[in-house]
Amino acid sequence: MSRPHPAPAARILVTGGAGFIGSHHVRTLLGPGGPAGVTVTVLDKLTYAGNPGNLDPVRGRPGFSFVKGDICDRELVDDLMAAHDEVVHFAAESHVDRSILSSAEFVRTNVLGTQTLLDAALRHGIRTFVHVSTDEVYGSVDTGAWTEESPLLPNSPYSASKASSDLLALAHHRTHGLDVRVTRCSNNYGHHQHPEKVVPLFATHLLDGRKVPLYGDGGNVRDWLHIDDHVQGIELVRTGGRPGEVYNIGGGTELTNRRLTDLLLDACGAGPDRVEYVTDRKGHDRRYCVDWSKIRDELGYRPRKDFATGLAETVAWYRENRPWWEPLKKTMETNP
């Protein structure tokens, strides 16, 4: 197993850095124990999923700057790329239900936005471009787990747009030699996650005394990855991954949605009467599961956060941070 070497000082452009995962990556880079000599610029359009407050813990830190803007803005992206060494690309439309209702913005942001970034990275000789993707590009798997060599068989407009961006990123490596590294993660959970996602949606509903909407028979299976472990994996790939390679990042906790719901009911002190079964989502993938032995064997990755602890901490965070999520839920319900 090869271990990553300490990375040289870097000026890192983080796209989508005001969102759930991107902001945690930024807080990790600039927080205690973060890599030395790193400066970070966040580029974020601040759509509904981007929250400036997510960056408050690092806003006053030396080496941090924020730019409000669109990754499809060629001139802005070009200017920013010229002043940076590395890119970690989180910016994406990511909510499957929204993509089913309307896919145009997903194609624009996830495909054309990624293409704009890649072309600028090539023009300005970016040292490393980490493209953050999802296990959903593989489609559904009944048994076993996807490896990085598994075919891409996306089933939703969201996952199709992410698969397209993955292929564009890898093509820039194969055609031009750009150092692109792709990560594909399983389902994330943790603090600061927008309440449209299942864990914070159910937790905040239950904390408000409401019922939770469970799709279909609740038998859909997901592997759960705490945000701390995801960011750990991204940093291992950024600092020690190989150009042109894909790395799956898994959490090691596989649950049916029904079992996840039961755990959230217990964590919130609620009973089974608070579950409302609703019509299943169109094209709902039955099971996701990634084989993450490659990042384990090459880079020493291991999930560190056990699920019971991570879920308890997550529910506690939402219980204690109503001022953060209540306005978001009001906006969701006013503008569904």
What are the angstrom distances between the C-alpha of 30 and each of 15, 21, 26, 48, 301? 16, 14, 6, 24, 21
Alpha-carbon distance 277 to 295, whole Å?
37
Q: Which residues of 245-277 are buried (b: 16+ CB within 10 A; e: fewer)?
A: bbbbbbbebbbebbebbebbbebbebeeebbee
Q: Which of 135, 223, 229, 235 is catalytic?
A: 135
Beta bridge partners of 44: 68
Judge contact between 203 and 267, C-beta under 8 A. Answer: yes
Residue 276 known to be catalytic:
no
Alpha-carbon distance 257 to 39, whole Å?
39
> Greatest CA span in the chain, whole angstroms?
58
Q: Which of 44, 85, 86, 136 is catalytic?
A: 136
Residue 158 known to be catalytic:
yes
Question: What six digits make up the tokens of 295?
Answer: 């990042």
Judge contact between 243 and 290, C-beta under 8 A. Answer: no
Q: Which residues of 118-138 are buried (b: 16+ CB within 10 A; e: fewer)?
A: bbbbbebebbbbbbbbbbbbb
Q: Which of 21, 22, 25, 20 is nearest to 43 (CA)?
A: 22
Judge contact between 16 and 50, C-beta under 8 A. Answer: yes
Alpha-carbon distance 55 to 328, whole Å?
17
Q: Which of 138, 158, 189, 288 is catalytic?
A: 158
Torsion of CA 309, 313, 314, 315, to 10 degrees: 110
Cα-only R_g, the chain: 19
The set of catalytic residues is 135-136, 158
